[in-house]
Structure 1
Amino acid sequence: MTKDATEALEYWKSKARGARLPSRADIDPSDMSGYLKWVTLVDVAQENDRVRYRMRLQGTGVADMFGRDVTGRWADEIYSDFYGGQLEQVYSDVLNSKKPACLTCTTHHNDRAHAYRRLIMPLAADGRSVDMLLVYFDMADIPIAAKGRLTHGSSIWMPVAEIA
């Protein structure tokens, strides 16, 4: 992970209270000023017998790289079945394990694959039941020429080693 990704993970860990997960209220955006534009907040909503994910707030850096802002949108309404299925599986894994996950994601620009990392960290208002995800996009290796032109909602996600 890059310095900023490591910093984001350490920040999340510092907000945990023993075995209790950090909450959204514990997260101060001013503490993340160096990498805030790469952070996205995702609401976890239980609707009847299914879980849905809403992009509460997408970082400006992420929106710029993909050429669109998905703030306020539901994942199942904006992504393809393939991509949405990956997103739901990974987010559900974090929701159930209550542990952060890091994935390598591959996206495309000009028929070239570009890899980036996505660090997904659970948040819980009550310290136990995950109700939000703090997601850091580590896009340091994406060429600036690809800015605004990355294929959105089509990346392949591969788990990286488990995070302690």
Structure 2
Amino acid sequence: MPAAFVERISEPRIKDFYHFWKARRCASGVPLKRSFDPTSMPPAWLPRITIYQWLGEKFLIRLVGTYVVDIDGLNPTGRFLEDILPPEMAEQRHEMFRAVLTRSMPAYYRGIYNLGDSGRKMPFERLLLPVSASGGEADHIMAMITFDQRLAPRRGFSMTGSMPEDLEVIWAE
């Protein structure tokens, strides 16, 4: 993957997570899901990780880290991505996530979340990494997200209905 992709990532934890993924790639071009052993990761990463599984038509949210739950105000573990987002956002995310799997290629995106009716906005950065449960085609996504904590809302403030504005997506090549 070109250095230009990594250079566009501004958050150090996300950059390190990308390098962690890259070091675990196997012959298929994507790492095995089991190579992401939580005991081999820095503890600060775990609360920021979300795992999605492709089930043929939808993405099942397998795990959501506590950092994400605290910011979002809900835990969507066990629900489908497409069912928890507004339709226009669900379609966009579904297409982006499918592209990560079909291309076996990471995507990094950043933007600004509108935090409901409060008028507050919070910058975020997110990395989507394809992984495989079996060593074949990518069928899971390991994602890491960070929010600008200087603008973080109080615990329990829901962002579920918010739509990112100025979304910038960067694909690894």
Using structure 1 for the length normalisation, give the TM-score.
0.87
Quickly say closer, same or farther: Cα 1:142–1:45, change in 2 above 3 A. farther
Q: Is the 8 A contact 2:106 2:127 kept in 1?
A: yes
Task: Report the aligned-residue RMSD.
Answer: 1.9
Compare 81-90 and 36-45 and name the one that shifted more: 81-90
CA distance in 2, matches of 1:78, 1:19: 31
Q: Is the 8 A contact 2:26 2:32 kept in 1?
A: no
Structure 1: gaps spanning 5 or more residues: none
Change (3 A) 1:30 1:65: same
Q: Compute the displacement of 1:141 (Å).
A: 4.3
How far has the Cα of 1:161 moved from its partner? 3.2
Which of 77, 92, 95 does residue 101 from structure 2 map onto?
95
* Alpha-carbon contact 2:11-2:125 (below 8 Å) kept: no
- 3-state SS of 1:55 partner: strand
User: Which of 48, 51, 56 is 1:41 aligned to?
Assistant: 51
Q: Does 1:127 align with 2:138?
A: no
Question: Within the alignment, does 1:81 sit opposite 2:87 as a pair?
Answer: yes
Aligned residue pair count: 160
Given the two structures, how large is their TM-score scaled by the length of structure 2? 0.83
Q: Distance in 1 between matches of 2:24 and 2:107?
A: 17
Q: Which amino acid aligns with 1:95?
A: L
Please state how far the C-alpha of 1:18 moved relative to its aligned partner: 4.5
CA 1:114 to 1:140, structure 2 compared with 1: closer, same or farther past 3 Å? closer
The percent identity for this pair of structures is 22
Partner Cα separation in structure 1 for residue 73 and residue 140 of structure 2: 24
